[in-house]
Structure 1
Amino acid sequence: MTLKRIPYDKPVLFFGNIRDLFLQKVTLHEFMKSYYMRYNNSNHSICGLYVGRLPVYQVMDFNLTKDICNRDFDHFMDRVPLGMQSTDILADLLLLSPGPIWKPTRAMVSPAFSSGKLKAMDVVIQSCGEKMSQHLLKRENPDKEIEMKQLFGIFTLDVLTNCIFGIDSNPWKELNSELIAAFYDCENYSILTHLKMNAAYWFFPENLRRFLKVSVLADDSVYFAANIIRNAREYRLTNNQRRNDFLQLLIDNAAKEEVKKPENRLMDEKHILSQSILFILAGFKTTATLLKFVSYELAVNPEIQNTLRAEIKSVLEKHNNVLNYDTIQEMPYLEMVLLETLRKHPPIPRFDRCCIKDYKVRGIDLVIEKGTMVYFSIIGFHHDPRYFPNPEKFNPLRFQENRNPHGFFVFGSGPRNCIGQKFALIVAKYAMVYILKDFGFFSTNKTQVPVLGKNGNLDILIHPKM
């Protein structure tokens, strides 16, 4: 297949349009933003690029995005497949599963993120917030900056292991534990491994790729997490113990399938491990990233931090300092701050779909052929002045009237959007309340302003309110 009737950069032999990305001269965030900006004023609803040898359509228009992801979802039910053998434990990931597997799996796991389930996690998340607050109070040197990635990585890991699997890892007691290292390293590849994996995907034809074995996550971290989950599952089954968490939901679904359709089960042990690993690793990265950028924006925008603290203080006083799921819903400015952070610093720069049957694009002379990849640049839309005027300015009031305005796709769009978005926002809200009710964020000469890239220096001073 080749790109037709749409604008695109002239491709380079072997690399297509991604040479700098492949050679790691730019990050994926930087690449997706710059390529989108190149064509966002071209009056085209769609542009193209070559990812190695593969032609990709990149959508540039809000309405077309909604068409593809919602109205015509039956044409784009799948995400882009790797086309290679996955590590056995990850073979059934909900994120990458084709439609016939994705749909029943999603139906099984969705109840874990209902409002009722989130309310039931209240006490656990509060306990994690208290432990983080106590850690900050007991620091030997309170005037020393803290690297936000580490702080919020530990908090997020504490929440996830408790809420998702019922394991109290208490990472604050041992900050250099094997558990923390495993989750920090889940996406840390050597440069050689990174090049091999991308070369196989971008440059090998599909009939050769399917014989290759590749892991989308670091094997050591995957198997370490799998052993923890497997042991927790076996302990519950052996001792007839139950907990109100994500793992229990999967165990119960497996038991129901055993009775109703034992010869055609979906939720077997491997499937349980696969979904469990996905949710803890995906939740760990994205939530911790959101929190570190919130702290950065509040540190460099003290007037916004003061407004947010005033809201938190007012709501807590109204409820006699009782913090729970219901009181946290009475903090609209807190949610606006989180959404604006996700707009400006999306943890994931793009999402994709794969066309599963030929699709005629409305309004233009273009047919997207079956098997073609389609990209949606989240970071491009979020920094497009057509949708967000003065996009580099941090302005939470953008979300005052509409929680999901045109061009805001941080959780994806349509039926295959992020299943854990409510959980991530609740966890982030608790983290901010527990810090801002007792502390403040302050930038210092170690804080990189503006922050450069998603891995920029985010050393922030967290100090009792001044």
Structure 2
Amino acid sequence: MLFLIWCVAVIVALALYLKQKYSRFSKYGVKNLPPVPLLGNMTRVICRMEHFADHIERIYKEFPDERFVGRYEFLNPMVVIRDIDLIKKVTVKDFENFLDHRTMVDEKTDPLFGRNLFSLKGQEWKDMRSTLSPAFTSSKMRQMLPFMVEVGNQMIESLKNKIKQSKTKKIDVDCKDLTTRFANDVIASCAFGLKVDSLVEENNDFYEKGKEASTFNFRQLLMFFAMANFPKITKPMKLRLFKDVTTKFFKHLVMNTMSEREAQHIIRPDMIHLLMEAKKGKLVHDEKTTNGTDAGFATVEESNVGKKNIDRVWADEDLIAQAVLFFIAGFETVSSAMSFALHELAVNPDVQEKLVAEIRENEKKNGGKFDYNSIQNMVYMDMVVSEVLRLWPAAIALDRLCNKDYNLGKPNDKCEKDYIVRKGEGLVIPVWGIHHDPEFYPEPDKFDPERFSEENKHRIQPFTYVPFGLGPRNCIGSRFALCEVKVMLYQLLQHMEISPSAKTMIPVKLSNDTFNLRIKGGHWVSMKIRE
């Protein structure tokens, strides 16, 4: 009887606790989907019933007349902002109130992932952003383009060999595998100065470690959410997203490369060299190369935060953390954009042929060669890449952490109370929902590069196209990513004709087994040598 009484007491206490937790929005008139006890609004994602992108779009579309709505990530209330003016306010005007991302990885337990630019907070983040920003100007990207071209030549040679060996002179290719290997080899060259051919040496160490570090499988997805939402439980457990062997691999790679270059006075214009220069305080902004549109419509401009000169001395571990971040971002997000670009070109042959015509025109003009300037001046190429990033943004949602109580105003005209975001609570900017909103993009699920033509792009409302984030905390590597995607498409379409295969999923359905953007069943297309 005593045991039953205790059980009833615990259940009642838990019910009251959950009722209090899940009333955070309703008492202010903020609308939200009904939460499931303990799981909040995460049930369908955790049970693999929907992809995180579909989850964000569902919440965004459920309440079309609201300025912002509520979302419970397990027990934590997070405001999802729908109003574009409010998004501008919290990410730019009142940026200092929402300076940081939520803590995902404990820097004491996992400094390699907890000390990178994405994870750093406050003044440390500002100092690191200022330190690294000069490494990502267009002048630095111009120096790296030949490394990208060299990797592209490897890829074309490998594909041609496979096609020549096939009986049908045509092969089915999983674009995600192809572009991941291409991105891996580019980052190996541009960041670490290593020559890797992942299409020939399929299981090389660099590729395997990168794949492990950048692919969030279901186990890592659960750990990711657990660390973000239950830090008091996960910190004592010293959970880590990645295996020790992966961490040690990157640490040794960066330190050994730096030591070898110091000893042999090797200078190569890649990311390791730029990090070494940053450590010595020799990286400074070249004002002539900070134009926000020099790499394409999607390029984000560096804020004043990143343009300050910093004389702070960083520890080796901090620089290693940045190198690892470059690798993960370059490995996954860029390959995702490229794989979806190839899918769309396969199923939209009219777009492919128009882009091929522009490539051939560029070849004639430049004697069969291309450089940073010529590829950035390709208007239709930029339209295609811009539309890929609109339809398939790698950043499904942006998060911000409130560091001081902040008044968001009323969620709608009928509410009587203002909603105050409390210090320590999070905000979500639903990029996927905004990019697929018919109010901003008619027929949002249609792949239409003409949205970004000279005649139409002025119609795109500011702050409704955010593939590389918003405000001072935007993606530092937008120029690098855009350059790499364009180089890859240029070289591939020069030599290959892409078409749907029997395994191409039309229309696309996302795989629910991962946090990453993946087409269910694979990103399959057919390729043959272009005549």
Q: Distance in 2 between matches of 1:190 and 1:324?
A: 37
Question: In structure 1, the residue corresponding to 2:213 is in which secondary structure?
Answer: coil
The TM-score with structure 1 as length reference comes to: 0.92
Query: How far does residue 238 in structure 1 lie from its aligned partner after superposition?
Result: 2.4
Q: Give matches, 1:377-396, under 5 Å.
A: 377-396=430-449
Which amino acid letter does the alignment assign opposite residue 369 of structure 1?
Answer: R
Instruction: Summarize deviations over 1:422-462 as a string: whole Å, max 9, x none.
Output: 11000110111101112111102111111211322211111
Q: Give matches, 1:313-352, under 5 Å.
A: 313-352=360-399
Corresponding position: 1:463 with 2:528: yes
Question: In structure 2, the residue corresponding to 1:185 is in which secondary structure?
Answer: helix
Q: Which of 83, 104, 109 is 1:82 aligned to?
A: 104
- Which range moved further: 24-33 or 103-112? 24-33
The TM-score with structure 2 as length reference comes to: 0.81
Which amino acid letter does the alignment assign opposite residue 71 of structure 1?
Answer: K
Q: Distance in 2 between matches of 1:189 and 1:322?
A: 38
Task: Confirm or deny: 8 A CA contact 1:286 1:347 kept in the other structure.
Answer: yes
Q: Distance in 2 between matches of 1:234 and 1:276?
A: 15
Task: Confirm or deny: 8 A CA contact 2:342 2:498 kept in the other structure.
Answer: yes
Corresponding position: 1:442 with 2:505: no
Corresponding position: 1:409 with 2:409: no
Instruction: Summarize deviations over 1:361-388 as a string: whole Å, max 9, x none.
Output: 2566222221110001111111111111
Q: 4+ residue stretches of structure 1 with deviation over 6 A?
A: none
Mark the CA change 1:110 to 1:317 in structure 2 (over 3 Å): closer, same or farther: same
Query: How far does residue 315 in structure 1 lie from its aligned partner after superposition?
Result: 1.6
Q: Distance in 2 between matches of 1:414 and 1:286?
A: 20
Question: In structure 1, the residue corresponding to 2:333 is in which secondary structure?
Answer: helix
Q: Give matches, 1:184-223, under 5 Å.
A: 184-188=211-215, 191-192=218-219, 194-202=221-229, 204=230, 206-223=231-248
Corresponding position: 1:157 with 2:214: no
Query: How far does residue 214 in structure 1 lie from its aligned partner after superposition?
Result: 3.1
RMSD: 2.1
Task: Confirm or deny: 8 A CA contact 2:226 2:234 kept in the other structure.
Answer: no
Unaligned runs of 5+ in 2: 1-20, 283-310, 412-417, 511-516
Which amino acid letter does the alignment assign opposite residue 77 of structure 2?
Answer: P
Q: Distance in 2 between matches of 1:9 and 1:144?
A: 46
Instruction: Summarize deviations over 1:98-121 as a string: whole Å, max 9, x none.
Output: 021110101111111111111111
Q: How many percent identity over aligned positions?
A: 27
- Which range moved further: 215-224 or 373-382? 215-224
Task: Confirm or deny: 8 A CA contact 2:113 2:119 kept in the other structure.
Answer: no
Q: Distance in 2 between matches of 1:136 and 1:82?
A: 39
- Count of paired positions: 456
Corresponding position: 1:361 with 2:386: no
Question: In structure 2, the residue corresponding to 1:440 is in which secondary structure?
Answer: strand
Question: In structure 2, the residue corresponding to 1:11 is in which secondary structure?
Answer: coil
Task: Confirm or deny: 8 A CA contact 2:104 2:224 kept in the other structure.
Answer: no
Corresponding position: 1:64 with 2:91: no
Mark the CA change 1:212 to 1:229 in structure 2 (over 3 Å): closer, same or farther: same
Q: Which of 418, 424, 446 is 2:481 aligned to?
A: 424
Corresponding position: 1:166 with 2:183: no
Task: Confirm or deny: 8 A CA contact 2:401 2:426 kept in the other structure.
Answer: yes
State the partner residue of 2:144.
121
Choose 1 or 2 for highest CA Rg: 2
Mark the CA change 1:216 to 1:107 in structure 2 (over 3 Å): closer, same or farther: farther
Query: How far does residue 359 in structure 1 lie from its aligned partner after superposition?
Result: 1.6
State the partner residue of 1:295.
342
Q: Distance in 2 between matches of 1:200 and 1:120?
A: 39
Question: In structure 1, the residue corresponding to 2:471 is in which secondary structure?
Answer: coil
Task: Confirm or deny: 8 A CA contact 2:102 2:228 kept in the other structure.
Answer: no
State the partner residue of 1:241.
266
